[in-house]
Amino acid sequence: MVVLNEKEKEYISSKIRDVHDFPKPGIIFKDITTLLNDKEAFNFLIEHLTQRYKSFDFEFITGIESRGFILAGALAATLNKAFVPIRKPKKLPYTTISEKYSLEYGIDEIEIHIDAFDKSSQRPPKVLLIDDLIATGGTAKAAIRLLKKIHVECVEACFLINLKFLKGDVEIAQSTPIYSVLEIF
């Protein structure tokens, strides 16, 4: 499996800005816009993901709204795969199915088009799931449940950043392989 070495991880990490007390006091937000607007760093990241996933067996890349769209869309274009968005409620124009998940301050929901995947093959469609960050894992777990609901196989869940100390990856790893470019302990 293709993974970054420590020097490469430090390079990517140096391009991500910490924003203190956003969205609320005590939170350190990992702002990837500084990585995205550095063309060398962004291209390096997408090339790394391309090398990692070029030999995987899947037809679709799905990204979770909103920063996951950026990574998933760029990788889908590079690998010549189809891109499928997973969105917040009432953002998709056609018939959707949804999955709710708990937040520390309430309930949220994600949706996908009911016909997002070509199911003409004898086997279930295979998908790579991408998001920018996994913290407590609520959104990612909901996305994987959503994919299972529509009989799609998730070959791996990929995250640019994994906040390991929050353990959001633990439950996901029991059913779906996970790759994190950067892990923060």
Structural domains of the chain in order of their starting residue, each with its CATH number: 58-184 (3.40.50.2020)
17 is catalytic: no
Peptide bond into 180 cis (omega under 30): no
What is the per-residue pLDDT across 92-126, written as a single tens digit (0 to 9) for each? 999 999 999 987 778 999 999 999 998 888 899 99
- CA dist 72 and 157 (Å) reads 11
Give pLDDT tens digits for 120-149: 888 999 999 999 999 999 999 999 999 999
| pLDDT at residue number 124 | 94
Task: Enter the pTM of the model.
Answer: 0.95
SS (H, E, C) 102-121: EECCEEEEEEEECCCCCCCC
Q: Are 168 and 134 in contact (CB under 8 A)?
A: yes
Residues 131 and 69: their CA atoms lie apart, in Å, by 8
Q: Could you tell me what percentage of the chain is helix, strand and coil, using 3-state DSSP and rounding each to the nearest 5? A: 35, 35, 35
pLDDT score for 101: 94
Options 6, 40, 104, 123, the catalytic residue = 104
pLDDT interval class at 85 (50, 70, 90):
very high
Query: What confidence score (pLDDT) does residue 48 get?
Result: 98
Active site residue 104: yes
* Mean pLDDT score across all residues of the chain: 96
Please give the pLDDT value at position 105. 74
Dist. CA 45–CA 133, nearest whole Å: 14
Give tens-digit pLDDT for 23-32: 999 999 999 9
Residue tagged active-site, from 40, 52, 59, 67: 67
